[in-house]
Every structure is written in structure tokens, then in C-alpha cells.
Amino acid sequence: MFIAVAADDQSLESLVSEEFILCKYLLIVDVDKMEYIAVKNEDDPLGEVLARKITEYNCEAVITGKLTPQAFEIIAGDGVTRYDGRGHSVKEALDLMEQYALKLIKNPEGMDDCGGDHSGYLH
């Protein structure tokens, strides 16, 4: 299983970035083997390039800080679960995610409601 983490550096000891677009690296972590690759964040002001990397690697979740609306739409549109890992190292955030102890990111603003119009969805 692959989990993406927006990080301030390229190691598991790095902090989770406060904002997705400000991360220095996107770590794609194979949590079964605890191996990862680091994708450098370069000239991606809306976070769309990194968001597409998450979907290309078929990540089941992303741990990050605040998302832009554009990145949120790409990630959520692919069914990727979004977790707020701010204030934790990458490794701590991965452990907390496994324990269901991280807050879900339900909308780009980070509020508790999803904010979407779901009138066309079955309930």
C-alpha cells in the first residue's frame, strides 16, 4: 500500500508540511516495506503536479497540511483519503494514520464539513 506524504525534507524524520504547495518533497511511502521515493516539488504553485503524482502512484491516502482547491479536487476525485499530519514527523504521522488518530481533510479549507453538493449522490 502506498501513502503520499507532503514533507519539509526527504526523510521519514522530516516534518509534514503545513501546506501542500509549500512542501519541498512528496514522499511516496510503501508502508508494507517502509521504503519510499522522494519527488522534489518544483514550480507547482497550485499543487496540481504533485496531486497527479499521488494518483499516478495509486496512493490510498495523502498526509499533508492545507490543500489548494485544485489539488484537493484532483486527489479527492481519485478517491484518495486525505489526512492532516501537521505538527508530526512523517514517521509519526504514518503511525498515527494507522491508529486512525489523524484528522480527515474533508475540504480544501480543512473544516469539519465536506462543503460539497451531494444532491446527485445516493445516500
* Domains of the chain by residue range: 2-104
Q: Which residues contact 122 (CB under 8 A, 6 or more apart)?
A: none
**pLDDT beyond 90 at 59:** yes
Strand 35-40 relative to strand 25-30, pairing: antiparallel
> For the chain, what is the mean pLDDT?
91
Does domain 2-104 sit in CATH 3.30.390.50?
Answer: no
Q: Residue 43 — pLDDT band, cuts 50, 70, 90?
A: confident
For the chain, how many residues are written? 123
Q: Residue 99 — pLDDT band, cuts 50, 70, 90?
A: very high
**Rounded mean pLDDT, 57-72:** 97
**Rounded mean pLDDT, 9-35:** 97
Q: Which percentage of the chain shows pLDDT scores above 90?
A: 85
Q: Which pLDDT belongs to residue 50?
A: 97
**pLDDT beyond 50 at 122:** no
**pLDDT beyond 90 at 36:** yes
Q: Which residues contact 5 (CB under 8 A, 6 or more apart)?
A: 16, 26, 27, 29, 62, 63, 64, 85, 90, 93, 94
Q: Residue 113 — pLDDT band, cuts 50, 70, 90?
A: low
Q: Which pLDDT belongs to residue 38?
A: 98
Contact 62, 54 (CB under 8 A): yes
CA atoms of 28 and 6, how far apart (whole Å): 9
The pTM (predicted TM-score) of the whole model is: 0.89
CB neighbourhood size of 62 (10 A)? 26
